[in-house]
């Protein structure tokens, strides 16, 4: 059992970025997103014994998270969701550990550039934001997992990605972000 | 000129770094998922979600309209009607076949309800969020799949 608990911990650590990316790709706010994130993991824990193919767990999680996101959106609770990039802008918040690491003087320029990249990303269309936010999971999800997370055909992902990254590069060029 | 796919991957790497800085997993989330394993080891029969009015009713939704859920397990079916207003839920449920039971609600704020001999139970002020019901019957425990309300 100890080994199982350790394996579960490794699974959670390995796939949490994917689950969180699915949540944010669907533009759930942090509070609702957190509930969906938990639901997905609690449900996986319940189903763990029945999942026959371990290499399908990521796709299973992605798909489960997507369905919970859609339900939360459909429940039409008052969600402070918006296209406004400021909603997602945490620059004024307490620094996260990751932020603290790059607070040094020489990293300030790098951080400023990433922030402008983040702003440009939020100017993209909804479809592009959704796909690219998912692709930001670490490690990058497979196209099979992306398809499960977004309800897209596997074959459509490559072309959409290509188009969205081109749009983003155009935006960055217009703003002089290199 | 650089290969475009190389540029794509570079840009994605930068976006990934930006997301780690500006949109990280909230603190505490990871631990809550790790803790989910303890729930899995509790022996309980799983009642799977068999019906959810949110999946059916395109266009029929909105505040004030209750969400209907049915969870099925071999020994017992659990029917729920949940109305959410003002950030909390009102829950009405019944067990089929009808029987008394202790009903534990696992979620942000744990609650305990009692099903009467006809299997009926209800509760107020259910916090919204992730939740699962555990029905303690005389001979076994049935847990519903987790859902988000």
Q: What is the ipTM of this complex?
A: 0.83
Q: What SS3 class is residue A154?
A: helix
Cβ atoms B123, B138 nearer than 8 A: no
Chain A residues in contact with B11 by the CB 8 A cut-off are: 165, 168-169
| Residues listed for chain A | 178
Contact A117 B46 (CB under 8 A): no
Contact B29 A34 (CB under 8 A): yes
Cβ atoms A108, A144 nearer than 8 A: no
| Residue with the larger pLDDT of the pair B54 and A163 | A163
Residue A86: the pLDDT is 40
Peptide linkage before A14 cis (omega within 30 of 0): no
Residues with Cβ within 8 Å of A122's Cβ and at least 6 positions away in sequence, in order, are A83, A85, A88, A129
Residue A77 has pLDDT above 90, yes or no: no
Site from B1, B4, B15, B88 to mutate, A interface, most A CB atoms within 10 angstroms? B15
Q: What SS3 class is residue B101?
A: strand
Residue B2: the pLDDT is 62
Contact B20 A138 (CB under 8 A): yes
Site from A4, A19, A34, A41 to mutate, B interface, most B CB atoms within 10 angstroms? A41
Distance CA A56, CA A86 (A): 36
Domain B43-148 fold is: Immunoglobulin-like (2.60.40)
Angle between helices B4-22 and A154-174 (to 10 degrees): 80
Per cent of chain A over pLDDT 90 is 63
Contact B25 A117 (CB under 8 A): no
Contact A12 B34 (CB under 8 A): yes
Of the partner residues A24, A30, A43, the one whose CB lies closest to the CB of residue B145: A43
Lowest mean pLDDT among A3-17, A69-83, A99-113, B108-122: A69-83
Tell me which residues of chain B have a pLDDT lower than 70. 1-2, 41-42, 57-64
Per cent of chain A over pLDDT 70 is 81
Q: What SS3 class is residue B66?
A: coil
Contact B29 A168 (CB under 8 A): no
Residue A96: the pLDDT is 63
Residues with Cβ within 8 Å of A42's Cβ and at least 6 positions away in sequence, in order, are B36, B39, B130, B132, B146
Among A99, A101, A109, residue whose Cα is nearest residue A177: A109
Residues with Cβ within 8 Å of A3's Cβ and at least 6 positions away in sequence, in order, are none
The domain limits of chain B are: 1-41, 43-148
Distance CA A153, CA A131 (A): 12
């Amino acid at each position: 059992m100890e080994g199982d608990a350790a394996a579960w911990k490794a699974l959670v650590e390995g796939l949490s970025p994917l689950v969180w990316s699915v949540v944010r790709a669907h533009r759930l706010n942090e509070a609702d997103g957190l509930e969906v994130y938990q639901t997905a993991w609690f449900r996986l824990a319940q189903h763990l014994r029945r999942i026959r193919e371990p290499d399908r767990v990521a796709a299973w999680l992605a798909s489960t998270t997507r369905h919970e996101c859609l339900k939360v959106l459909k429940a039409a609770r008052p969600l402070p969701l918006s296209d406004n990039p400021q909603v997602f802008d945490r620059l004024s918040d307490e620094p996260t550990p990751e932020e603290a690491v790059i607070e040094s003087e020489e990293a300030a320029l790098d951080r400023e550039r990433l922030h402008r990249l983040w702003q440009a990303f939020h100017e993209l269309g909804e479809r592009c934001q959704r796909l690219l936010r998912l692709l930001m999971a670490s490690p990058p999800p497979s196209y099979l997992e992306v398809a499960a997370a977004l309800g897209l055909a596997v074959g459509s992902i490559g072309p959409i990605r290509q188009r969205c990254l081109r749009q983003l590069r155009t935006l960055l060029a217009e703003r002089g972000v290199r | 000129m650089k290969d475009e796919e190389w540029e794509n991957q570079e840009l994605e790497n930068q976006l990934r770094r930006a997301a780690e800085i500006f949109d990280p997993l909230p603190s505490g989330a990871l631990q809550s998922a790790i803790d989910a394993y303890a729930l899995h080891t509790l022996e309980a029969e799983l009642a799977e979600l068999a019906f959810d009015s949110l999946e059916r009713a395109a266009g029929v939704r909105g505040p004030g309209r209750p969400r209907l859920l049915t969870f099925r397990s071999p020994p017992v079916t659990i029917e729920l009607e949940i109305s959410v207003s003002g950030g909390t839920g009102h829950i009405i449920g019944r067990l089929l076949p009808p029987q008394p039971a202790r009903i534990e609600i696992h979620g942000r704020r744990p609650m305990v309800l009692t099903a009467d001999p006809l299997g009926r139970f209800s509760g107020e002020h259910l916090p919204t969020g992730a939740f699962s019901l555990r029905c303690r019957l005389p001979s076994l425990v049935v847990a519903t799949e987790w859902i988000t309300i």
